[in-house]
Amino acid sequence: MKISVIGCGYLGAVHAAGMAELGHTVVGVDIDAQKIAALTSGRAPFFEPGVDGLLQSRSDRLRFTTDISEVADAEVHFIAVGTPQAEGGAAADMRFVDAAFASLVPHLRPGALVVGKSTVPVGTAAAIAPQVEAAGASLAWNPEFLREGFAVADTLTPDRLVYGVRAGDDASVALLDRVYSTTLASGTPRIVTDFATAELVKVSANAFLATKISFINAMAEIAEVTGADVTTLADAIGHDTRIGRRFLNAGVGFGGGCLPKDIRAFQARADELGVGHALEFLDHVDQINQRRRARVVELALAALDDQGSRDATVAVLGLAFKPNSDDVRDSPAVDVAVALAREGVRVVATDPQAQRSAARKAPAVTIAPTVEEAINAASVVLVLTEWPEYRDLDPAALAPLTPARVVIDGRNCLDADKWRAAGWTYRGLGRS
Ligand X SMILES: NC(=O)c1ccc[n+]([C@@H]2O[C@H](COP(=O)([O-])OP(=O)(O)OC[C@H]3O[C@@H](n4cnc5c(N)ncnc54)[C@H](O)[C@@H]3O)[C@@H](O)[C@H]2O)c1
User: Binding-site residues, please?
Assistant: 30, 35, 83, 119, 145-148, 202, 247-251, 255, 261, 322, 329
The site partner of 209 among ligand UPG, ligand X, none (C-beta below 5 to 8 Å per kind) is ligand UPG
| Least spacing, CB of residue 345 vs ligand UPG, in Å | 23
Sole binder of ligand UPG in the list 145, 188, 243, 290 (CB under 6 A): 145
Going by the annotation, the residues of the binding site for substrate are: 145-148, 202, 247-251, 255, 322
Binding marks (x or -) toward ligand UPG, 248..287, rule CB under 6 A?
A: xx-x-xxxx-xx--x-------------------------
The answer to whether 146 contacts ligand X (rule: CB under 6 A) is yes
Residue 247 sits at φ, ψ, to 5 deg, of 65, 30
Closer by beta carbon to ligand UPG, 68 or else 92: 92
The answer to whether 387 contacts ligand UPG (rule: CB under 6 A) is no
Q: Give the binding range for ligand UPG (CB under 6 A) out of 79-87, 102-110, 131-139, 244-252.
A: 244-252
The answer to whether 331 contacts ligand X (rule: CB under 6 A) is no
Binding marks (x or -) toward ligand X, 98..127, rule CB under 6 A?
A: -xx--x--------------xx--------
- Binders in 24-83 for ligand X, by CB under 6 A: 29-32, 35, 80-83
The answer to whether 161 contacts ligand X (rule: CB under 6 A) is no
Query: Helix, strand, or coil here: 317?
Result: strand
CA-to-CA separations, 85 to 52, 170, 238, 325, in angstroms, rounded: 28, 34, 33, 21
E strands present in 75-116:
76-79, 113-116
Strand partners, 421: none
CA distance 312 to 123: 52
| Least spacing, CB of residue 243 vs ligand UPG, in Å | 13
Indicate the burial class of 344 (C-beta count within 10 angstroms; 0-12, 13-18, 19 or more).
exposed
The answer to whether 431 contacts ligand UPG (rule: CB under 6 A) is no
Catalytic residues: 258
CA-to-CA separations, 93 to 140, 234, 306, 341, in angstroms, rounded: 21, 36, 45, 30
- Binders in 287-306 for ligand UPG, by CB under 6 A: none
- R_g over Cα of the chain: 23
CA-to-CA separations, 243 to 78, 247, 296, 353, 429, in angstroms, rounded: 35, 10, 27, 33, 21
CA dihedral angle for residue 331, residue 208, residue 294, residue 150, rounded to 10 degrees: -30
Eight-state DSSP code of residue 279: G
Asked if 140 contacts 102 with a C-beta cutoff of 8 angstroms, the reply is no
Sole binder of ligand UPG in the list 3, 122, 146, 161 (CB under 6 A): 146
Sole binder of ligand X in the list 9, 28, 121, 318 (CB under 6 A): 9
For binding to ligand UPG (CB under 6 A), which residues are involved? Answer: 119, 144-148, 206, 209, 213, 247-249, 251, 253-256, 258-259, 262, 321-322
